[in-house]
């Protein structure tokens, strides 16, 4: 599989497919019809032999419930990670009222997720046409977004899944973690991640960082922005408080939800901060 051909096909799909634009039927406001959700993605690659996959199984990182690539796909050789940056329209809208998510952001979170599933399907299809097997853990029936080791929602471990898009992005060289637990890439952190496990051998790339938080300048802007007061310089992100705020958004906007205030009006919104 030629990586450049694969990337160009995905970039063209993101640029032109109708699902990357809010439809007239779903638009929360008439003027949002046709709004573009994602800009051009960036890509990261890793070998399934990378030792970090075993590190993720340690308690305090993710945990023993994390499934390594070969547990999802026995013949796996490579993992592909994509960062899909939100468009400027989405980001700018979410800066106007820092107490509540903008309609544009809610669309990006939910309609954007629908499009992400289709991107996964396209990548899998392209790989299968070349004779390889592939799957996306986020769409696999075995995926679980909660830890099996605790039912206490106030514990941080409760919010760990058996496949973490953020950790995979870190492993594949796309970026390091920030104070808000998001990933800061060279195109910032305002966006979404997807990943694919495949039997294709795709050359991995060196991570341009060595520390988990190398790209974070610890400015505290995300902590100041957070309407749930869920982020602090000394303790990082409290997932329980964050989840509580998202539940309030869901109550008002179901089936949509989201927040994203830690991803806008920050130095790492659309670039790696200096």
Residues 6 or more apart whose Cβ sits within 8 Å of residue 137: 67, 72, 143, 162, 163, 195, 197
CA-based nearest residue to 198, from 37, 90, 75, 113 = 75
Nearest alpha-carbon partner for 71 in 150, 123, 135: 135
> Which pLDDT score is estimated for 205?
84
| DSSP annotation string for 91-137 | HHHTTS-TTS--HHHHHHHHHHHHHHHHHHHHHHHHHHHTT--EE-G
Secondary structure (3-state) at 175: strand
For the chain, how many residues are written? 274
Strands (E), 11-61: 42-47
Q: For residue 32, what are its two tokens?
A: 């949002």
Q: What is the distance between the alpha carbons of residues 170 and 115, in angstroms, rounded to a whole number? A: 22
Predicted local confidence at residue 146, as pLDDT: 87
Query: What is the tens place of the pLDDT at every residue in 28-85?
Result: 999 999 999 999 999 999 999 999 999 999 998 999 999 999 999 999 999 999 999 9
Tens of pLDDT along 166-187? Answer: 999 999 999 999 999 999 999 9
Average pLDDT over residues 236-246: 97
pLDDT digits (tens, 9 = 90+) for 197-210: 999 999 998 899 99
DSSP codes of every residue in 180-246: TS-EEETTBSSEEEEEEEESS-------S-SSTTTT-----HHHHH-TT--EETTTEE-HHHHHHHH
- The Cβ of residue 95 has, within 10 Å, a number of other Cβ atoms equal to 15
- pTM of the entire predicted model: 0.96
Q: At what angle do helices 3-16 and 103-129 cross, to 10 degrees?
A: 140
Q: Give the separation between CA 134 and CA 131, rounded to whole angstroms.
A: 10
Structure tokens at 268: 């790492």
Largest interatomic CA distance in the chain: 50
Q: What is the distance between the alpha carbons of residues 229 and 238, in angstroms, rounded to a whole number?
A: 9
pLDDT at 120 over 80: yes
């Amino acid at each position: 599989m030629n990586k450049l051909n694969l990337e160009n096909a995905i970039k063209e799909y993101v640029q032109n497919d109708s699902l990357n634009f809010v439809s007239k039927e779903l638009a929360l406001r008439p003027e949002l019809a046709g709004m573009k959700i994602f800009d051009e993605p960036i890509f990261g690659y890793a070998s399934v032999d990378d030792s970090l996959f075993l590190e993720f199984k340690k308690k305090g990182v993710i945990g023993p419930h994390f499934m390594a690539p070969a547990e999802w796909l026995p013949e796996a050789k490579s993992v592909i990670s994509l960062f899909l940056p939100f468009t400027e329209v989405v980001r700018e809208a979410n800066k106007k009222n820092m107490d509540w998510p903008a309609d544009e952001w809610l669309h990006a979170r939910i309609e954007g997720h629908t499009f992400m599933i289709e991107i996964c399907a396209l990548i899998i299809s392209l790989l299968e046409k070349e004779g390889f097997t592939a799957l996306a853990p986020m769409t696999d029936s075995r995926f679980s977004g909660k830890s099996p080791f605790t039912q206490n929602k106030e514990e941080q471990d409760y919010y760990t899944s058996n496949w973490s898009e953020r950790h995979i992005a870190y492993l594949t060289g796309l970026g390091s973690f920030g104070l808000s637990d998001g990933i800061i890439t060279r195109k910032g952190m305002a966006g979404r991640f997807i990943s694919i496990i495949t039997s294709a051998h795709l050359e991995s790339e060196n991570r341009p960082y060595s520390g988990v938080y190398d790209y974070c300048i610890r400015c505290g802007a995300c902590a100041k922005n957070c309407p749930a007061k869920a982020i602090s310089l000394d303790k990082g992100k409290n997932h329980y408080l964050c989840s509580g705020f998202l539940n309030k958004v869901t109550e008002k906007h179901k089936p949509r939800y989201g927040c994203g205030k830690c991803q806008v009006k920050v130095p790492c919104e659309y670039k790696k901060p200096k």
